[in-house]
Structure 1
Amino acid sequence: MAMTASYDHGRSAPGDAAAEGAGAPQVCPVLGTDEAAAYTDYVYTETLLSLQRPRTGESAELSFIITTQVMELLFRLIRHHWEEARDALEADDTASALAALRRGTGPQDVLVESWSMLATLTPAEFDRFRDALGVASGVQSAGYRQLEFLLGNKSAGMARAQRGLPVAGTELERTLAEPGLYDAALRLLRRRGMTVPDEVAERDWSRPYKPDPRVERAWAEVYADERPGNDLLQLAEVLMDTAERVTRWRHRHLMAVKRSMGAKPGTGGSSGLDWLARNAAQDVFPELWSLRTGV
């Protein structure tokens, strides 16, 4: 039996009105010039698709560039959700913080899976365009560094390195000086009567977070109350969802580098594999992990 195509390159095709009314697929609508441009103008499609500019003839370089750009967009979206969550915690709005963190797990999952786009990159393919990167390295990404700062991995040196970027550098300096996501959670615990010490709740935000056994005990108090309405327990578990996805992304990064370049030094001058392995082994929100041994 012959079938009529539902889509005809943007032109309306003759169709059976009765069949369409019965639930058959409708033909693609005819778009005017203004309507067709509306989508492109809103999404900046032409600008977006003009930003992939390989520097070599190696086919795999396009995959590398697009994957990196997708990650940068996801960094921006995740940062948006984490900052919303942090600000909500500072305002004692736990419900909004939980919602923002849960919204953030979707982009985190996509971020983790984005490494699959580079899963088949061979050492030979990477070598054919690696010199075109020069000293460029993911460690220099201001977007990624924003996320690390929000997680408590502060570094004044990393912020100084971005001062040549007027917008990104200023934003990173601001994030360096502000409480991170975990800081806001601990400050909320303290306001709720948990035994979070002053030197943790009002610490120097520009310094990296250091685990404290008293903070572990405070979280243990939270976990001891298993009532369904315990919003602090819900917060702890959603923070764990966030932390676990960060570790997954770090590990996928480690595996992608190990597969494509082995133990060679990183393009930005880092120790490459060793640096990534240490980063992957570092717990995010450490007391939420350590308390589990004693529960």
Structure 2
Amino acid sequence: MYTIKHAAELVGVSVSTLRAWERRYDLIAPRRTDAGYRLYDADSVRALITMRGLVLAGWSARQAAEETRRRTADRSPLKPPAALHGPAPNGDIEALVRVAEDFDVTGLATVLDHEFSTASFEAVADGWLLPAMRQLGLAWESGRVTVAAEHLVSEGVVRRLNAAFEASGAAARGPRVLVGLPAGARHEVALLAFAVATRRAGLATTYLGADVPTAQWAAAATLGHAVCVVLAVSMPEDVVVLEDVVESLAAAHPALLVAVGGGLQDHAPQSCLRLGHEIGSAAAHLASQLSARSPFDLE
């Protein structure tokens, strides 16, 4: 059993937020000690962690609470409600730069909490997060922010996206997709955000991360029963490595769909499906392509 302070620390929210969720959404019913103090069991903490992840992924608190109750009841993740999808927010794309300049960990959490509460995950990713990350990169190149400060913000963003990825759940019945970066490639924010969007679009996505050795892609596709592999290419030096990965996958899995995103996707082999440059539309396009393939193609 956990005290309210300990439970809030495990969930990653303030005590006041935890109390508000309990009061407004009837999500959990903590026990009370003889002195009236709340005690939370492991199931309650897991439910609260699920709700927090959904909120970070762009769900409203009320929708997140309803979805958490569904998941707790039947353990089957649902697609996000259509009402979450909307126009890209007009966010402050300098916000991450200012956080980096001040080396402000608390400010980073506040900025991310605010921006991801304004619209759907996809709209925020395309309309604010990626432009803000580009501004951060330019600030680093110009010397406006230090390497350490850039790493502070980038790693914080990656942690937030990882939480959103876990909260979005794996669609067990959807087409199985592997997403990752080829050997030597490390700029993963956009691809990780895309992985979140594909799960939200109903695909059973496994995220492999950055710098995956060429020789391991074919084996990963076999072990993961994948029908599609998604890679990204954003640097000139990544193009040749990408070609090697595509060649090895074609030799081992001729029917496998290989899709490519990133700024240099037009330099990928012609056999690859090009996903474009917007996360929301790319995820929807991939889901459409896979749903249109015959059952034989998906074996």
The TM-score normalised by the length of structure 2 is 0.28
- Relative to its length, the structure with more strand (as a share) is 2
Q: Highest relative contact order (Cα 8 Å, sep 6+), 1 or 2?
A: 1
Please identify the structure whose Cα radius of gyration is greater.
1
The TM-score normalised by the length of structure 1 is 0.28
- Relative to its length, the structure with more helix (as a share) is 1
